[in-house]
Structure 1
């Protein structure tokens, strides 16, 4: 019994092609781990590992950002992705004084929707669904001007009758200046293995991601700038493959498109994410980002558009931090990410004041 061509296109195109960061040669599984529904991350070029703010939703990318100031924070994130793919994330943090450690737990999900199952002759046999989940647990500590943390990820993926389980970990360390206006960080993400393969013993790698970055907030100025180098495990390699189907330059001897040449600048630039925030107190943030890899991967031959550019904002209303972020992936197509963060202690204080 076979599924319709729609499933084949889904497995071959949607999973590897739409989830934020493609890996070199398209290798690896659990690519949904790179899809971040968080609005702040979306608005900062898809990478916010150098954003040292009191936001529990940022822990999914950098566990070393977690500290006791996150105690009793709750964060919710949602994005209605392309092709009606829905993704979300829930996070909760708490601090235990006796252990001098802050913990967080959360779950990330991607729901690909319902699909029609057919026989080879086109007869409809029913429907099936597809979804993936990541249960993540994080612990972090502070030592003087250093913060370090680690996350454990328990992964489940179900695509029609194909089911897989895996385990992965993130480890990170960050250094902050005494005034916390400058920070540097190093993160290793998704170091893990597939415990149960989708079929038989055909095990796949989980794509690891080594990143470093720094950010600088200017004193008496709302501007903060961040620069991140990602995918450093592939340093010296080109992180994308150009689609040459529309290449009009043909080799007269072979009749094939002439492959585009790349230099060391192309290789280096593909690792870079640049983002900036304008921070107006605790009530308003405006964000912009640029992801060079995303821009190069998703640009058409003759049309670049605004692929790779992102923007967003955050506002505080009463006890809630509300954020919106948008990233342009295809010409005329963008995502709409929404996030909300609140602290349970704020509700307790309100209750005590009214009594």
Structure 2
């Protein structure tokens, strides 16, 4: 019964919670899962952070020399025994070459008990997703624009079945110290499944995203706005629970308005005291809230919150993410500056 519960949660995880594309349309969806506590607390997707060594996983254009010697390790306790761990590190080669960034993502689905068609147990097995990446960014001469790219090697394993893939991210970031705003464009997870699980080759969860942030001048607050999944504008699907049944038993499907569909592309975040020893963060993911809401019941799905504590060369971040009334997620990040 316990393993059946985990399998059901695994299906929910694949279909809804990664919100990269509609469930079943792509493989390696874990690539769109945020493992950084700071990013998770700000709504799950942020592309304009330049002082966080976790950020280049999402936007390689954010790689800069100030990240040199910084290491971040993160852990998220997800559904049932599902857990997600990431590690990021940046190293500056020299003044001429610049800084490279590398990261590792590992999604562990836990242990399962296998059985044949007759229900006879065949032993335990595991399932996991893994990726390793290397990235580099370049400042376009005489401009405030940075362009960067990640190259990822991906591996997914279910029992004795395995799949390998390659993908790349391309990001553009506008940043000027004199301006209070930043702007980013990112195309993520463009690639190819090299070896397949079965005979069918699947698509990667490619995304085209935009992000912006604005720092208030006289108040220690930074606002973050993200517009994601622009490659697939119609994200909304009618919810059978919201169908209207007339007196004759005829069902009318839910009508998805333009506004209802559009809002699912947005997430908002706010960070208070970002440069202080203690930070507070809040976020809201509209798509997560819409897709995981319950009829006639408030669940606060889509809401995120967290904080950060700086202690000299060490920084600790925590994020709380509300997915559903049945489950929440906590993310922990530890950042170390070896310089």
**TM-score, scaled relative to structure 1:** 0.89
Aligned partners of 2:101 and 2:135 also within 8 Å: yes
Q: Which residue of 2 is the match for residue 243 of structure 1?
A: 239
1:15 partner SS: helix
2:272 partner SS: strand
Unaligned runs of 5+ in 2: none
Q: Distance in 2 between matches of 1:6 and 1:330?
A: 16
2:252 partner SS: coil
Deviations 1:127-168 (A, max 9, x none): 000011010111012234122110011100001122111111
> 1:133-282 alignment to 2 at 5 Å?
133-143=130-140, 144-200=143-199, 202-235=200-233, 237=234, 239-244=235-240, 246-247=241-242, 249-251=244-246, 255=249, 257-279=251-273, 281-282=275-276
> 1:90-109 alignment to 2 at 5 Å?
90-109=87-106
1:120 and 2:117 are equivalent in the alignment: yes
Is 214-223 or 96-105 further displaced after alignment? 96-105
Q: Distance in 2 between matches of 1:7 and 1:326?
A: 21
Q: Which residue of 2 is the match for residue 72 of structure 1?
A: 69
Q: Distance in 2 between matches of 1:39 and 1:5?
A: 29
1:289 and 2:283 are equivalent in the alignment: yes
Aligned partners of 1:166 and 1:192 also within 8 Å: yes
Counterparts in 2 of 1:124 and 1:182: CA distance versus 1, 3 Å: same
1:84 partner SS: coil
Deviations 1:37-77 (A, max 9, x none): 2111110110111233x110111111111100001110100
Q: Distance in 2 between matches of 1:7 and 1:336?
A: 18
- The count of corresponding residues between Structure 1 and Structure 2 is 335
Q: CA deviation at 1:96?
A: 2.4
Counterparts in 2 of 1:338 and 1:285: CA distance versus 1, 3 Å: same
Counterparts in 2 of 1:25 and 1:163: CA distance versus 1, 3 Å: closer
Q: CA deviation at 1:121?
A: 2.6
Q: Distance in 1 between matches of 2:4 and 2:300?
A: 32
Deviations 1:199-239 (A, max 9, x none): 12x0011121111121110123211111111001113x1x1
2:54 partner SS: helix
Is 309-318 or 4-13 further displaced after alignment? 4-13
Aligned partners of 2:53 and 2:67 also within 8 Å: yes
Q: Which residue of 2 is the match for residue 335 of structure 1?
A: 329
Q: Distance in 1 between matches of 2:32 and 2:322?
A: 16
RMSD: 2.0
Aligned partners of 1:298 and 1:329 also within 8 Å: yes
**TM-score, scaled relative to structure 2:** 0.93
Q: Which has the higher helix share?
A: 1
Match of 2:40 among 39, 42, 45: 42
Counterparts in 2 of 1:256 and 1:323: CA distance versus 1, 3 Å: farther
Aligned partners of 1:242 and 1:297 also within 8 Å: no
Q: CA deviation at 1:240?
A: 3.2
Deviations 1:148-205 (A, max 9, x none): 11001110000112211111111001112342521011001111111111112x0011
Unaligned runs of 5+ in 1: 346-355
Counterparts in 2 of 1:300 and 1:184: CA distance versus 1, 3 Å: same
- Write out the 4+ residue segments of structure 1 that deviate beyond 3 Å after TM superposition: 4-14
Is 132-141 or 278-287 further displaced after alignment? 278-287
Q: Which residue of 2 is the match for residue 350 of structure 1?
A: none
Q: CA deviation at 1:280?
A: 5.1
